[in-house]
Amino acid sequence: MSDLQVRRVRFDFAGDDVPFDWQPARPAFAMQCNLISFFAPGFEKFIVDATRQAIPLMRDPEVVEEANAYLRQEAQHSAAHTSHVRALTRRWPGLKQTLDEVTASFDHLTATKPLAWRLGYTAVTEATFTPYFKVFLDHDDKLFAPGDERVASLFLWHFVEEIEHRSSALRVYDAVHDSYMYRLKTIAGVVKHLHEVVGIISRGFSEHVPDSDGGRYGALIPNGLSFKALRDAQSAARQLTTPGQATYAGVPKREILAMIAGLVRSQAPGHDPTFEDIPAFAGRWFARFDAEPKSAARWYSIGAST
Ligand SMILES: [Fe+2]
Ligand SMILES: [Fe+2]
């Protein structure tokens, strides 16, 4: 039986006071999370579409069950990020165009790429999430706690569930198209597509949010993944922030190196995300959710003593 739990969390994004720069102590981290909110609805719809198409091709009922739970988790993530984005577009309506462009870009992949490629894209990307998010969760006191609690709670929930279903995308891919070499070859296409989407979001943030509301921090997101774009983002960070405001400020170097090693290892042959090094935070989050589900939407004020 699949252990994945589908949790419906009601995040409080009804008001029009959700800040764009929701973590002023670390604006680059705030922007990285905002980027994920604009990326998620399109990406997760892309996952749901591909996984739904893959399920009838699977022979192992256990994988089918896991695939169903996994796509239901992704659908919840997509809905929650959509509500976050909606709160932002109420204040900065131009951002709607940014979301639409990202979603259209994923819809184009769904319409034009074969199923194996789309499942490969998903397996490649999802395998990076556990090492990538582990550092964030290991330092939630610095990264999330000082920020807007509603937004912080959304990302904490999403990141722990990504860790919970860390093996699902690979299991789905292997059940339908068990070829490491093909998956490896999709990486170039994934990077090309991420280049496009990151560029859309970076330009959208800078264009649609006034500098005084934090739009200037849009420049902390590279305008794509080219060398020049990465260099420009670094120089924007030097101009707009202090070193203590960097995403990984205060994170020991060995943890950054472990993350980089984990990202490389996530694409190696025979890698099984099941055996990843899991942040202790994830265990705490699941236990607190079971005891007090409302804590998921207000992580730092509901049940925080447990
Ligand atoms: Fe997700
Ligand atoms: Fe996922």
| 118 pLDDT higher than 90 | yes
Q: What is the pLDDT of residue 304?
A: 80
User: Is 304 inside a domain boundary?
Assistant: no
Q: Give me the residues near ligand 2 (ion), CB cutoff below 5 Å.
A: 126, 162
| 305 pLDDT higher than 70 | no
pTM exceeds 0.85 for this model: yes
Q: Residue 175 in contact with residue 54, Cβ under 8 Å?
A: yes
Q: Which ligand is nearest to the CA of 40?
A: 1
Distance 92 CA to ligand 2 centre (A): 28
Q: Which ligand is nearest to the CA of 78?
A: 1
* Number of domains the chain is built from: 1
Q: What is the pLDDT of residue 1?
A: 59
| 306 pLDDT higher than 60 | no
Q: Which ligand is nearest to the CA of 74?
A: 1
Over residues 30-64, the pLDDT tens digits come to 999 999 999 999 999 999 999 999 999 999 999 99
User: Is 11 inside a domain boundary?
Assistant: no
Structure tokens at 178: 């068990």
Q: What is the pLDDT of residue 144?
A: 98
Distance 85 CA to ligand 2 centre (A): 19
Q: Which ligand is nearest to the CA of 67?
A: 2
Structure tokens at 261: 């090693």
Angle at 60 between CA 58 and CA 65, to 5 degrees: 85
Distance 73 CA to ligand 1 centre (A): 7
Q: What is the pLDDT of residue 169?
A: 97
The torsion of the CA quartet 260, 262, 263, 269, rounded to 10 degrees, works out to 140
User: Is 15 inside a domain boundary?
Assistant: no
DSSP state of 285: H
Over residues 193-204, the pLDDT tens digits come to 999 999 999 999
User: Is 248 inside a domain boundary?
Assistant: yes
Q: What is the pLDDT of residue 171?
A: 97
Q: What is the pLDDT of residue 303?
A: 80
Q: What is the percent of the chain where pLDDT is above 90? A: 96
Rounded Cα gap, residues 196 and 193, in angstroms: 5
- Tell me the pLDDT of the chain averaged across its residues: 96
Distance 162 CA to ligand 1 centre (A): 6
The residue range of the domain holding 71 is: 27-297
Distance 242 CA to ligand 1 centre (A): 31
Distance 213 CA to ligand 2 centre (A): 30
Distance 235 CA to ligand 1 centre (A): 31
User: Is 149 inside a domain boundary?
Assistant: yes
By C-alpha distance, which of 37, 23, 53, 192 is closest to 119? 53
Distance 241 CA to ligand 2 centre (A): 31
Percent helix, strand, coil in the chain (nearest 5)?
70, 0, 30
Q: Please state the rounded mean pLDDT for residues 232-257.
A: 96
Over residues 7-23, the pLDDT tens digits come to 999 999 998 899 999 99
Distance 168 CA to ligand 1 centre (A): 11
Q: What is the pLDDT of residue 243?
A: 93
User: Is 73 inside a domain boundary?
Assistant: yes
Distance 236 CA to ligand 2 centre (A): 30
User: Is 126 inside a domain boundary?
Assistant: yes
Q: What is the pLDDT of residue 215?
A: 96
Q: Please state the rounded mean pLDDT for residues 159-185.
A: 96
Residue by residue, DSSP assigns 179-237 as -HHHHHHHHHHHHHHHHHHHHHHHHHHHHHS-GGGTGGGGGGS-SSSSHHHHHHHHHHH
User: Is 194 inside a domain boundary?
Assistant: yes
Rounded Cα gap, residues 29 and 217, in angstroms: 10
Q: What is the percent of the chain where pLDDT is above 70? A: 99
Distance 212 CA to ligand 1 centre (A): 31
Residue by residue, DSSP assigns 114-138 as -HHHHHHHHHHHHHHHHHHHHHHHH
Q: Which ligand is nearest to the CA of 39?
A: 1
Over residues 247-303, the pLDDT tens digits come to 999 999 999 999 999 999 999 999 999 999 999 999 999 999 999 999 999 999 998
Q: What is the pLDDT of residue 2?
A: 77
Distance 238 CA to ligand 1 centre (A): 31
Distance 94 CA to ligand 1 centre (A): 25
Distance 240 CA to ligand 1 centre (A): 30
Distance 90 CA to ligand 1 centre (A): 24
Q: Please state the rounded mean pLDDT for residues 211-227.
A: 95
Rounded Cα gap, residues 188 and 2, in angstroms: 32
Q: What is the pLDDT of residue 131?
A: 97
Distance 57 CA to ligand 1 centre (A): 23
In three-state secondary structure terms, 4 is coil
| 225 pLDDT higher than 80 | yes
Q: What is the pLDDT of residue 148?
A: 97
